Structure 1
Amino acid sequence: MKNDAEKNKLTNKFIQQIALAVKLRDSKLPTILESANKNNIPKKAIENAIKKGQGLLNSGGAGNINIYEGMGPGGVAMIIETQTNNKNRTVALVRSQFNKANLSLLSMGSSMHYFDKVGEVTFCVSKEDGESDLEQPPAPEILDEDAVFERILDIDGITDLQRQPPGEEGDDDELAVYSALTEPSLTNKIALEIRDRGFELHSTSIEYKPKRDTRVPLSDPETQQAFSKFVQGLEDIEDVTKVYTNELIAQPSSQDQG
């Protein structure tokens, strides 16, 4: 069982690396593929990783990315990102979800000004030095958060750098995961520079981050429940790839904790 778990972990690691290399048009792709073959990564897994990097595994085809905007329960601004080859079907499903909650889709730009469109690169610092089977630059022998920041923040174009809270995607007992923000057009360039400094890339994406001064708190439990149900309904739509909101999650008071 342990060997199976280790094999799955290694396979997933190669899938991630191959997909990113394809997406970034990284010149190191042939080296990564050669290393994957040497490590007996299944051919089907490699083929799917390449398709993933090309954007060909979503809803059976590449499709087009479409953005919809609206206001959810409690006046929370929302951006719904979809990828589909049938725009009419997708917008009908999204609109139906709003109609069920007695809400309406809004025109383009109605919610967008509550968000900043940014490029995001997440990367890891392995705590297991020397155990990576991928042929990449050696990981810097630093685990201290301040040292990571010092190594990365001088890269021209990075506007913000944070360590992701434990428990978020990619953050576990073995990896410290960081998020670097930049202009969308610089995302791939920043990712390659981070990689060239010895860090292991985790993902690259274009995100909509809510502006701090526009976040909406939902302190009423009934509204919170309605909002969570509404977002879940949107996320259950097959063509919806991500739902962005400017919800500010209320922290429990000391009286609630007591």
Structure 2
Amino acid sequence: MAGHSQFKNIMHRKGAQDAKRAKVFTKLIRELTTAARSGLPDPAANPRLRAAIIAARAANMTKDTIDRAVKRGAGGTEGDNYEEIRYEGYGPGGVAVIVEALTDNRNRTAGEVRAAFSKHGGSLGETGSVAFMFDRVGEIIYPAKVGSADDVLEAAIEAGADDCVSETETHRVACKAEDFFAVKDALEKRFGEAGEAKVVWRPQNQVAVDEERAQSLIKMLEVLEDSDDVQNVYANFEIADDVMRKLSA
């Protein structure tokens, strides 16, 4: 199980979590509602809802808020019909970008996404135009304290995972998207509930971006993530540490 370079998690850049807490909750509630609507309201029988609840707990959402979102989705409340849309394109420096959205107004969301690309030196493409440069994988993350690197690696192999990278603070397990829930359930029997677990787009290669293009790219990604309709943004960029420090100052 060879290691891989951990790709940038844009949501955690520049300590922006606290400032975006309300928006994060809005996105999580949409996912909870949509997941409950798309299947049974019982997380044990609805893998997508189970994953959404894990994400909500990781963001410290209260049980009452989670339960209300699930009940709203299960009850089919009018106005809670969200459509799943994926946008793909290129940012500054030829960086490939995938945007996942949940929206109740396709025209509004398309306009916002297109504007974010065009105003910051990017170009929106057709569906499938960059997805081939990413792998769709399940990612299960545990804090380092749950066990040694060898223990987690052994458990990951037994669970059917493809990759396990242990770092100072976390163990990061990756698997095929279709094996995600089986691997997650097997690991949770051993280590308890994961700190984070979701299916993501992982870039196959990184594109190095210089300082000038990095500034435009980061701004574009921040504008995309600031949209309530956008759930996730993935990009295959690599920015040197000294450049990131300069831009974050």
Same fold (TM over 0.5): yes
Q: Of the candidates 141, 147, 162, which is equivalent to residue 143 of structure 1?
A: 147
Q: Note closer, same or farther for the CA distance 1:106–1:25 as it changes in structure 2 (3 Å cut).
A: same
How many Å separate the matches in 2 of 1:231 and 1:85? 22
Are 2:156 and 2:187, in contact at CA under 8 Å, matched by a contact in 1?
yes
Matched, 1:205 2:205: no
Q: TM-score, normalised by structure 2?
A: 0.65
Alignment partner for residue 49 of structure 1, among 41, 66, 81? 66
How much has 1:121 moved relative to structure 2? 2.0
Moved more, 114-123 or 231-240: 114-123
Work out the number of aligned pairs and report it: 188
Letter in 2 for 1:163: S
Contact preservation (8 Å) 1:24, 1:188: no
Give how far 1:108 is off.
Answer: 1.1
The whole-number CA distance in structure 1 between the counterparts of 2:234 and 2:43 is: 23
Following TM superposition, by how much is the alpha carbon of 1:111 offset from its aligned partner in structure 2, in angstroms?
0.8
Contact 1:22 1:53 in 2 (8 A): no
Q: Counterparts of 1:6-85 in structure 2 under 5 Å? A: 23-25=43-45, 45-50=62-67, 61=80, 63-85=82-104
Over 3 Å counting, the alpha-carbon distance change for 1:242 and 1:67 in structure 2 is: same
Following the alignment from structure 1 to structure 2, what is the Cα–Cα distance between the partners of residues 248 and 239? 26
Larger Rg: 1
Worse-matched range after superposition: 45-54 or 200-209: 45-54
CA contact (8 A) 1:123 1:199 kept: no
Shift in CA distance, 226/112, structure 1 to aligned 2, threshold 3 Å: same
Q: Is the 8 A contact 1:161 1:178 kept in 2?
A: yes
Q: Which residue of 2 aligns with 1:162?
A: 165
Gaps of 5+ in 2: 1-31, 33-40, 47-60, 74-78
- Look up the equivalent residue of 2:228 and give its one-letter code: E
Residue in structure 1 matching 2:171, options 154, 175, 178: 178
Does the residue aligned with 2:194 lie in a helix, a strand or coil?
strand
- Distance (Å, rounded) in 1 between the aligned partners of 2:72 and 2:186: 23
Contact 2:165-2:171 within 8 A present in 1 as well: yes
Residue pair 2:142, 2:171 contacting (<8 A) in 1 also: yes
Asked if 2 retains the 8 angstrom alpha-carbon contact of 1:22 and 1:54, the reply is no
CA distance in 2, matches of 1:250, 1:24: 43
- Is the counterpart of residue 241 in structure 1 residue 231 in structure 2? yes
Q: Which amino acid aligns with 2:212?
A: E
Contact 1:73 1:223 in 2 (8 A): yes
Question: What TM-score does the superposition give when structure 1 sets the normalisation length?
Answer: 0.63
Q: Gaps spanning 5+ residues in structure 1: where?
A: 1-18, 27-43, 128-141, 167-176
Which residue is 1:229 aligned to? 219
Q: Which runs of 4+ in 1 moved over 3 A?
A: 21-26, 50-56
Between 1:188-197 and 1:145-154, the stretch displaced more is 145-154
Q: Please tell me whether the aligned partners of residues 120 and 217 of structure 2 are also in contact (alpha carbons under 8 angstroms).
A: no
Q: CA deviation at 1:205?
A: 1.4
The whole-number CA distance in structure 1 between the counterparts of 2:67 and 2:167 is: 27
Q: Aligned equivalents of 1:203 and 1:52: distance in 2?
A: 20
Aligned counterpart, 2:126: 107
